[in-house]
Amino acid sequence: MTNEKKYQVLLYYCYVKIEDPEQYRFEHHKFCLENNLKGRIIIAHEGLNGTVSGLREDCERYMAYVKGDPRFAHTDFKLEAHEDHAFQKLHVRVKPEIVHSGLQHIDPNVRTGVHLSPQEFKQIKNADDVVIVDVRSNYEHSLGHFKGAVTFDIENFRDFPEKVKDLEQFKGKKIVTYCTGGIKCEKASAYLLEQGFDNVYQLHGGIIKYGLETDGEDFEGRCYVFDGRVVTDINKKNPSVVSKCCVCGKHSARMVNCANPVCNLHAPMCEECGWEMEGACSPACKEHPEKRAYDGTGYYAKEMNGYDPYHGLKNTQKHLS
């Protein structure tokens, strides 16, 4: 009897010009539906960004479909095995940016930091002339980060530019940025270059690729991911737990969203407190009238807000038949 996991989770992005995002969204979404894929995909004039899950063979078809388009032929997919779908639904949406940065004037295809492979990053990360910079949000780096990394007190990536002044003291050193899958670093490193930093690098493929292609050495804690898994393990050599339960203060690598949707705090919470607090981060949130039912995971599928994944497809199918 095999224990091989039948599903995969794909994480990817591609900065490339898309002339008609709405039309491509329709085509892309139709392919996902026909191949039983679930996930969150963002399409913009500046490119494509997604995390999808499906059976191994469906994911292989999806990667072939994406790379079969010359625009996305160089897309780098990060693949992780999983027991089931990592998503409950499929969302394919058009947005102004493929990651909300407020840096729409920056085109990573024109200028960005030097890409370092996971092995290259591993070799230089502890050098005296290197500063490792985490460009992720508070709730992400509080759960896990590279040993010795500079972190910022930010709620969203769009707050990153105002924190760059904190790096002025390191202008004479090599700055190496990292994030979950690499997409934020494309613009973060480009912005650093724009602000006068000379030696700027980025971890290509981010934390996920580093964990997949190395032993994950010196990544402390676990990595927050934007799917139903919520967190994933990275370090196979010297793993540790750095985050603490927001209720009792005990070390815990479990990440939850507060069951109160008005709060929706992303925070570590141990299993005991999770059940005791019914997934809420505080007594006030536990008593909130809109509190969601807690199932032990602390993960809540994104509300559709009127979004219909089948919109327009029925009419198209009738026209083609």
The residues carrying an active-site annotation are: 179
Percent of residues in the chain assigned helix, strand, coil, to nearest 5? 30, 20, 50
Q: Say how far apart CA 93 and CA 65 lie, in whole Å.
A: 18
Residue carrying the six token digits 């995969």: 8
Contacts of 245 by beta carbon, 8 Å cutoff, 6+ apart: 251, 252, 254, 268, 269, 270, 273
Ordered alpha helix ranges (H), the chain: 21-34, 56-68, 118-124, 138-143, 183-194, 206-213, 271-276, 283-286, 313-320
DSSP 302: P
Q: Which two tokens stand for residue 158?
A: 């769009």
Q: Are 202 and 112 in contact (CB under 8 A)?
A: yes
Residue carrying the six token digits 């709730």: 139
210: left (phi over 0), alpha (psi -120 to 50) or beta: alpha
- The phi and psi torsions of 111 (rounded to 5 degrees) equal -160, 130
Q: Which two tokens stand for residue 87?
A: 């998503």
DSSP 192: H
Calculated CA dihedral for residues 80, 84, 87, 92, nearest 10 degrees = 70
First-last CA distance in the chain: 43
Beta-strand runs (E) in 31-142: 38-44, 47-55, 78-82, 90-94, 114-116, 130-134
